[in-house]
Amino acid sequence: MKNKPSNNHKIISWGQIVGWLVVFAVAILLFNKPGEKETTLDYSAFKQKVAASEVADLTVAPGVISGMYKNDKGQFAPFKTVRMEDPNLVAELSAAKVNYKAQQDRSWVGNILFNVLWIVLLIGLWWFIFIRPQRSDGKSAMNFARSKAKMQDPSKQTVTFKDVAGCEEAKEELEDVIKFLKNPKKFQKLGGKLPKGVLLYGAPGTGKTLLAKAVAGEAGVAFFSASASEFVEMFVGVGAARVRDLFEQAKKNSPAIIFIDELDAVGRRRFAGIGGGHDEREQTLNQLLIELDGFESKQGIILMASTNRPDVLDPALIRPGRFDRHISVPAPDLKGREEILKVHAKKVKLAPEVDLKTVAKGTPGFVGADLANVINEAAILAARADKEAVMPGDLDEAVERVLAGPQKKSRIISKHEQHVIAAHEVGHTVVARLTNHSDPVHKVTIIPRGQALGYTLQLPLEDKFLTSKSELLDKLCILLAGRAAEEIVFGEITSGASDDLNKTMAYARKMVVELGMSEKLGPIALPNGDDGEVFLGRDLSRHKTYSEELARTIDEEILNLIRTSYARAKEIITSHRVAFDKLVETLLQKEVVEANEIDEILGLKPVQPSVAEPEKPVESEPIVPQETPKATKPEAKQQAELFD
Helix axes 415-434, 469-490, angle to 10 degrees: 150
Residues 136, 137, 142, 143: what is their CA dihedral angle, to the nearest 10 degrees? 120
DSSP 446: -
Cα distances from 348 to residues 158, 180, 389, in angstroms, run 19, 36, 8
CB neighbour list of residue 330: distance below 8 Å, 6 or more residues apart: 167, 202, 203, 206, 631, 632, 634
* Separation of alpha carbons 628 and 338, rounded Å: 26
CB 398 within 8 A of CB 381: yes
Strand pairing partners for 454?
A: 643
Strand pairing partners for 390?
A: 350
Question: What is the SS3 assignment for 266-293?
Answer: HHECCCCCCCCCCHHHHHHHHHHHHHHH
Cα distances from 206 to residues 136, 172, 330, 613, in angstroms, run 37, 16, 7, 29
Catalytic residue IDs? 425
DSSP 127: I
β strands within 44-196, DSSP E: 55-60, 64-70, 76-82, 100-102, 150-152
CB neighbour list of residue 375: distance below 8 Å, 6 or more residues apart: 341, 344, 345, 348, 395, 398
